[in-house]
Amino acid sequence: MRIGGDGRYLIGILVCMNGIFTHTLPIFLLNRGARMKTQNTPATHSDILFTHIVNTLVDLAKHEGTLMTFEGLLRNGIEVDEEMMDSMLGVSQDSAAQCVVQLRDCGAITSPAVYEMVTHVEQLAMRLAPDWWKQIVPWSVQPLRYYQKEAMAKRERFIVRHRERQYPFFVYVTGQVEYPEDDPLYGTYVTEGTFLVGKAKTIHDALECAKEAFTRGEWIVQDEEGRDELVDHLTGRDQGPVSFSERTIEIRDKGDRLVLTGNARTLEWHRHVTSPDEIEKIKAQQKDLYQKASYESGWDNYETARQLRQEAEELSVGIVDESWRNLPDVIKAVEEFHYPAFMDEETFAFNADEDMGIA
């Protein structure tokens, strides 16, 4: 049974009954119905996943209807204003593609009804504007069992991501990253890069997140969706990082304010610079180094210029946002930080003095 086009208002119920939440669905729906009576009860992560899936399915059904309309007009030789077609068809096709990606990302392509809709939308898009579609959905639709097999892991990942969105701290790593040139004949090039390592609920957890990346020796971790974004869909070549040389860890809050920095190669956490005189002195030194870097660039000495800019940036690693300077929570997190077992803890132990750690 299938409700076609944009009249598929009840698709959410049909999909769920076909097994998106499998054995937990009946209890889940009963509990959800009971919770609706108490407006102040916060939604669970399962509620949010359920709502996201249903809303995405409704949106996809609407865009499917638009694609069907345009195909019908073209098939019957009815002329459509080119500007209107580009705007309406483009928006619907982009949105439909995003819906398909989102459904896969949250493990929702598990029932025949959803699978049929996804394949139909792909067929419509490939007939109307295949290049446009492939820019967003580079992969072809696989058999239903393929998505059923990956669904549980996808749902769990969706819930983790939603939970992490509420976390107040972000862990970044900065360093030199090597990328392949657009033309393989030119090999690779090196540039500065900053990558999100993870998100954390507390400063302590943020330090642990950095330690996990350090321990496994892998700072840039991309899931399947992230890797897809780095593929050149015209050539099929992976344009993602070839290598990465880590340098600095940055912990920031939701307002992008710098909380703490550290050496990504040693896990040494940099002391906070709090003295206004010292901050002014550092800024003056940085200005001088940046001027020298600009001069070297003018003479095409790009590597020397890069090293000078890096030296200037490293001078200010201890200058964090004023609201976080020497905050007790930061000091406590660094004091309680445990280095990996294979490192000499005494070598890198935290000292609350002017030479190391947070003054």
Contact between residue 244 and residue 219 where contact means Cβ atoms under 8 Å apart = yes
Residues 6+ apart with CB under 8 A from 229: none
Query: Residues 318, 324, 325, CA angle at the centre, nearest 5°?
Result: 50
How many angstroms separate the CA atoms of 1 and 33, rounded? 26
User: What's the pLDDT score for residue 70?
Assistant: 85
User: What's the pLDDT score for residue 226?
Assistant: 55
User: What's the pLDDT score for residue 112?
Assistant: 94
User: What's the pLDDT score for residue 270?
Assistant: 96
Residue 327: closest CA among 254, 280, 249, 258: 258
Helix (H) or strand (E) holding 243: strand 243-253
- What residue ranges do the domains of the chain occupy? 5-164, 168-273+316-348
Mean pLDDT in consecutive groups of 10 residues from the start of the chain, 359 residues: 39 41 36 44 76 93 90 82 70 88 94 95 90 83 94 90 88 95 90 94 97 93 63 73 95 97 96 95 97 96 94 95 95 94 55 42
**What tokens does 250 get?**
């940055």
Other Cβ atoms less than 10 A from the Cβ of 275: the count is 11
Where does the chain have alpha helices with state H? 11-17, 25-35, 45-75, 82-105, 112-128, 130-136, 144-165, 203-216, 224-229, 276-298, 302-315, 328-335, 345-348
Residue 328: closest CA among 305, 348, 352: 352
Phi/psi class of residue 97: alpha, beta or left (left: φ > 0; alpha: ψ in -120 to 50)?
alpha
Tell me which long-range contacts 71-79 makes (C-beta under 8 A, separation of at least 24).
71/124, 71/127, 71/128, 74/128
